[in-house]
Structure 1
Amino acid sequence: MDKKLTYKDSGVDIDAGNYSVKLIRDSVKATYRPEVLGDLGGFGGLFALAANRYKEPVLVSGTDGVGTKLRLAFMLDRHDTIGQDAVAMCVNDILVQGAEPLFFLDYLAVGKLDPEQVAAVVGGVARACKESGCALIGGETAEMGGFYPAGEYDIAGFSVGVVEKSKLITGARVHEGDLLLGLPSSGVHSNGYSLVRKICFERKGFKGDEYIEMLGKTIGEALLTPTRLYPATCLPLIRAFDIHGMVHITGGGFYENIPRAIPEGLAVTVDADAWEVPAIFRLLQEWGNVDWKEMYRTFNMGIGMVLIAAEDESKKIEASLAERGEPVYEIGRVTKGGHDVTIKGGVFHG
């Protein structure tokens, strides 16, 4: 007689899934805001929007993943930072519309469920949610045996935020003469990792544990630095000042992202001398013999978020950031033009 099969025999371990939930319960609940209703384990996350706080609330949503940066996490068997990347890519995107992140959901698909690995990933998600002020109100962990190799996974995130309609940032009010203020990135963030891997692990042959003097850490540690979370820095500015536009410098770098925040008939000139390009980007350019224009259209080059405002308002924003010890750089200006970006100065050639 054939052996009786169970779901576990097919690659799905329900008990391991239950243990994963037990491991993450406390870190998830630590993210809850007063508006969260219910508890972990429901079919849907419940969030009671405090509508009386707003005259005309606009909900803003965003979704994203981490991309091939995950390959580094697998290679180095380090999973405690990837969750922040997933959160940051979503909350930073909705932030540029002026939205305060309210809640977040994650989707984690694994080959074979390892409760400790899941706890490390979701723990990173929870810490990033708490730092961003949003609640982790739900998620899904799918065990997909035969679809992903054991030890590997993919993660995506979904975030919803709210902004008063009068404070919605669309870029429509950007005008000639506005300044661009750049906020530093924490590193490569979560874009361009297909090129990063080709440079570092194919061309250079790194294994990830090589100590790089210019970086003061191993190449693996540098490349796994999680994406910076900008809500805590930017939300007070959005509420206090007249910001015309915001740009999250993600895939496509300066050339693809900045035009998304300016109207037709305008252009932007970026001064690459305004900030020091971090060592990791200079090394990637050197190791890969990458054209500088390609660098600025692939990576954030040390600037992860851009605010666009009139010159007098920009000075007030800079002063506010200085009071909080936050670095900021005047990186460019809006001009008349063909809805494009020109980069001048620095090490830029092309």
Structure 2
Amino acid sequence: MKPTYSQSGVDVAAVKAIQTRINTLIASTSNKHTPNFLAGHYAGVFEAGGQKLTMHCDGVGSKILVAQALDKHDTVGIDAVAMNANDLICIGSTPIVGVDDLSLSRADDELVAQLMTGLVAGCKESGVALIGGETAILPDMVKSDGSKKNPARADYSLSMTIVGTLSGAPLTGAKMKEGDTLIGLSSSGIHSNGYTLARKLLPVKEWGEEMLVPTQLYVKPVLEMLRTQASSIHGIAHITGGAFSKLARIGAHAGVGFELDNMPKPAGAMAELYKKMGDAREAYRTFNMGVGMVIACEPSSAESVLKTAKKHGISSYEIGHVVGGRDVVLVQNGKRISLL
């Protein structure tokens, strides 16, 4: 039987059902600060003191178990920043401040120092001021799977909340239309999703270093794209949980679909995962497969978007286009594969 994310312990359908229920419940909490309540998108939007602000909360997940297996924790903080900052920019927001939430099985000064190294580096790269946070010692709750290189090291969980500013209306994807070009910005690796399955398919002794490469931060290039090509960029998607099926999140706002007919060839860990999974649909619904961010833009602006990415040292590709309908279709070897 081909390995799937659900078999590894993450039931994607169940997760989506939970998210739908949560979005329904939180909408009932809207107040005077949320006149345009935006539930189920990449970030929440609210108003305070006449300013539009955004907020997002996310964590590193089980990538931490790879860090424990290598006893290397100085880049994990970058992942915590990236999982939040990259989501904020998808709605056109500029990240400005954040707080971290660190839960430990016991006090461990050396571990905390390593984690802070990554948090500070990620915040500086993203223009985020780390203004506080929570550090909790929870020995009865925070426990890993035991596969640590250094048994004396504390177990932990790390997440962040980042707030951003927003000028004008949020970029929801509502302006996307058939024929828009899809530009894929290259990922730095697996990023911070799919590790429950990746850890079962890739031996950490062989692939651990590559698995631990921090999530690519897209803040600077994407904000520059939005400054210089604002009217031409119609939608942005961060490829995280659910991978390319997540394009449907922005597609729903315009009633459009997506055709991915020029994806880059998977390399490194992605190629190995694809080989072991043996199923294109499952692979492209679980992992970013080399593309961590997708920009939907006017065809006439595609070259400018590609040049901006290159300027910031990020490879990019024209990976497809916006189409009618509401499906997300991968075209591979003459086959059309629905990712929904």
Q: TM-score, normalised by structure 2?
A: 0.77
Which amino acid counterpart does residue 208 of structure 2 have in structure 1?
G
- 1:267 corresponds in structure 2 to 257
Task: Kindly indicate whether residue 72 of structure 2 is the aligned counterpart of residue 81 of structure 1.
Answer: no
Given that 2:95 and 2:165 are in contact with CA atoms closer than 8 Å, whether structure 1 keeps it comes out as yes
Q: 1:289 aligns with which of 267, 277, 281?
A: 277
Q: 2:93 aligns with which of 80, 96, 99?
A: 99
- 2:327 corresponds in structure 1 to 340
**For 2:136 and 2:159, how far apart are their aligned partners in 1?**
12
| 1:228-271 Cα shifts (integer Å, max 9, x gaps) | 1110111111111121100000010102x101112353111001
Q: 1:161 aligns with which of 154, 161, 164?
A: 164
Unaligned runs of 5+ in 1: 1-48, 201-205, 211-218
**For 2:266 and 2:80, how far apart are their aligned partners in 1?**
24
Shift of 1:122: 1.5
Q: 2:221 aligns with which of 233, 242, 262?
A: 233
Shift of 1:325: 5.0
Given that 1:246 and 1:308 are in contact with CA atoms closer than 8 Å, whether structure 2 keeps it comes out as yes
Further displaced range: 65-74 or 148-157: 148-157
Which amino acid counterpart does residue 84 of structure 1 have in structure 2?
I
CA RMSD of aligned residues (A): 2.0
Which amino acid counterpart does residue 284 of structure 1 have in structure 2?
L
Unaligned runs of 5+ in 2: 1-46, 144-152
Q: Secondary structure at the match of 2:141?
A: coil
Name which one, 1 or 2, has greater alpha-carbon Rg.
Answer: 1
- 1:302 corresponds in structure 2 to 290
- Relative to 1, partners in 2 of residues 1:251 and 1:323: Cα closer, same or farther, differing over 3 Å? closer
Given that 2:186 and 2:314 are in contact with CA atoms closer than 8 Å, whether structure 1 keeps it comes out as no
What is the correspondence of 1:132-147 to structure 2 with a 5 Å cutoff?
Answer: 132-147=126-141
Shift of 1:117: 0.4
Q: Report how many aligned residue pairs link the two structures.
A: 278
- 1:65 corresponds in structure 2 to 59
Given that 2:277 and 2:283 are in contact with CA atoms closer than 8 Å, whether structure 1 keeps it comes out as no
Task: Kindly indicate whether residue 266 of structure 2 is the aligned counterpart of residue 277 of structure 1.
Answer: yes
- 1:9 corresponds in structure 2 to none
Task: Kindly indicate whether residue 225 of structure 2 is the aligned counterpart of residue 222 of structure 1.
Answer: no
- Relative to 1, partners in 2 of residues 1:112 and 1:60: Cα closer, same or farther, differing over 3 Å? same
- 2:142 corresponds in structure 1 to 148
- Relative to 1, partners in 2 of residues 1:172 and 1:108: Cα closer, same or farther, differing over 3 Å? same
Q: TM-score, normalised by structure 1?
A: 0.75
**For 2:101 and 2:224, how far apart are their aligned partners in 1?**
30
- 1:177 corresponds in structure 2 to 179
**For 2:112 and 2:123, how far apart are their aligned partners in 1?**
16
Shift of 1:291: 1.1
- Relative to 1, partners in 2 of residues 1:224 and 1:325: Cα closer, same or farther, differing over 3 Å? closer
